[in-house]
A = this chain, B = another copy of it.
Amino acid sequence: MSRKIRMGMVGGGRDAMIGAVHRMAAALDGHIELVCGAFSSDPDKSRASGADLYLPAGRVYGTYREMMEAEAGLPAGERMDFVSIVTPNNVHFPVAKAALEAGFHVMSDKPMTYDLDEALALRELVSATGLQFGLTHNYTGYPMVKEARRLVRDGSIGRVRKVVVEYPQGWLARLEEATGQKQAGWRTDPAQAGISSCIGDIGTHAENLMEYVTGLSITELCADLTTFVAGRRLEDDGNVLVRLQQGATGVLYASQVCAGEENALAIRVYGEQGGLEWHQQEPNTLIVMWADRHREVRRTGVGDLSAAAQGHTRLPPGHPEGFIEAFANLYRNYALTLQARLQGAEPPDGLDFPTVDDGVRGMAFITACVASSASDRKWYPLKEA
């Protein structure tokens, strides 16, 4: 008999942003139930947050260590199945490690860890425990990203020549971290964010999207990172030339200081026969262009889309699905995969989600960009170790 998967959460208290997204994403399809949490490093805030979420007081914990221990002691039919980690970057690894060691599956926000060494250690730990690890590179959850990936993979647009991924944001065009804005605070703080702000926070999404859609790995890169806002401690902008497998080339840029931009992630892929263009802010549309015929506007829910696209769409055509729905696709896939596993069944087909390997690549990308930017050498390898 199937049952709802039980989720515990670490982070995501009252003034957090991404925690609420994870909760809505987990709730959307009805397969996951939030049963407990350690929502803040401040126990009072954690308790207040738990009450907001209608959780019983006994399942709201002051620290993640307390949560791991208490939950592990509950009966199998009650205790959480997995931990959702929605903290600042520096806390990802310790929580993931504690959870895995306590026997809990893990779903973590990105970038996966504070640095590449932690990422490699985490990969080993996941492998050793055999537990299920998911990473919320949520943009891969959009149906039309799945469609794009399929059109590359099945050869529709021919061998890939060129890829452009742009990710301009404008929210850090001023020194927001000086105003007490919490999101700005930790994302620009080397102690919490790691060696990078812009590339770490959004450049890794761009890298993940580029590799996910094309199926090609970045092999070397040439980065120019800049800190534009005076007083900021990490870079807030990056322009990167990339070279990928099979002779493809590319451009990737990300910025937090493109004043007036919202969250304008976009990808263009050009192959020998045609090209693809997708914009995150208009996610239900995929432009498909051809060397010798009219452009197509592929739309979520319309016509002969790939099984992958259809399988990640909930509504009929013209009923826009957005960020939360794409995020929820990861959670649904994670939950149904876990459900199958708990029942000793084969994981369902086509329900992919990013894994610890994607996390390692993301950390390697950050590391290479920062090193490249500081170097006079033109091309810098993207190596995982």
Also in contact, A318 and B259, with CB within 8 A (given A237-B161, A289-B170): no
Q: At the interface, yes or no: A304 with Cβ under 8 Å from chain B?
A: yes
Least distance between A168 CB and chain B CB atoms (Å): 8
The 8 Å CB contact of A325, one of B4, B283, B324, is B324
Interface contact B259-A274, CB-CB below 8 Å = yes
The 8 Å CB contact of A270, one of B258, B287, B314, B320, is B258
Least distance between A276 CB and chain B CB atoms (Å): 9
Complex CA gap A325/B24 in Å reads: 10
Q: Which residues does chain B contribute within 8 Å of A302, judged by CB atoms? A: 262, 294
Least distance between A277 CB and chain B CB atoms (Å): 9
Least distance between A175 CB and chain B CB atoms (Å): 11
| Centre residue among A258, A316, A377 by max chain B CB count within 10 A | A258
The 8 Å CB contact of A283, one of B162, B250, B320, is B320
Q: At the interface, yes or no: A72 with Cβ under 8 Å from chain B?
A: no
Q: At the interface, yes or no: A101 with Cβ under 8 Å from chain B?
A: no
Least distance between A238 CB and chain B CB atoms (Å): 9
Complex CA gap A317/B264 in Å reads: 10
Also in contact, A295 and B293, with CB within 8 A (given A239-B250, A253-B251, A263-B318): no
Interface contact A21-B294, CB-CB below 8 Å = no
Interface contact A263-B2, CB-CB below 8 Å = no
Least distance between A110 CB and chain B CB atoms (Å): 15
**This chain: copies in complex:** 4
Interface positions, chain A 231-281, Cβ under 8 Å from B, are 237, 239, 241, 243, 249-251, 253, 255, 257-264, 268, 270-275, 280-281
Least distance between A223 CB and chain B CB atoms (Å): 9
Q: Which residues does chain B contribute within 8 Å of A24, judged by CB atoms? A: 28-30, 314
Complex CA gap A82/B162 in Å reads: 42
Least distance between A108 CB and chain B CB atoms (Å): 19
Q: At the interface, yes or no: A166 with Cβ under 8 Å from chain B?
A: yes
Complex CA gap A206/B275 in Å reads: 21
Interface positions, chain A 121-168, Cβ under 8 Å from B, are 157-158, 161-162, 164, 166, 168
The 7 closest A-B pairs by CB, nearest first: A260-B289, A263-B318, A262-B318, A320-B322, A262-B317, A322-B322, A259-B291
Partner-B contacts on A (CB < 8 A):
2-4, 17, 20-21, 23-24, 27-30, 34, 53-54, 157-158, 161-162, 164, 166, 168-171, 173-174, 222, 224, 226, 228, 237, 239, 241, 243, 249-251, 253, 255, 257-264, 268, 270-275, 280-284, 287-299, 301-304, 314-325, 375-379
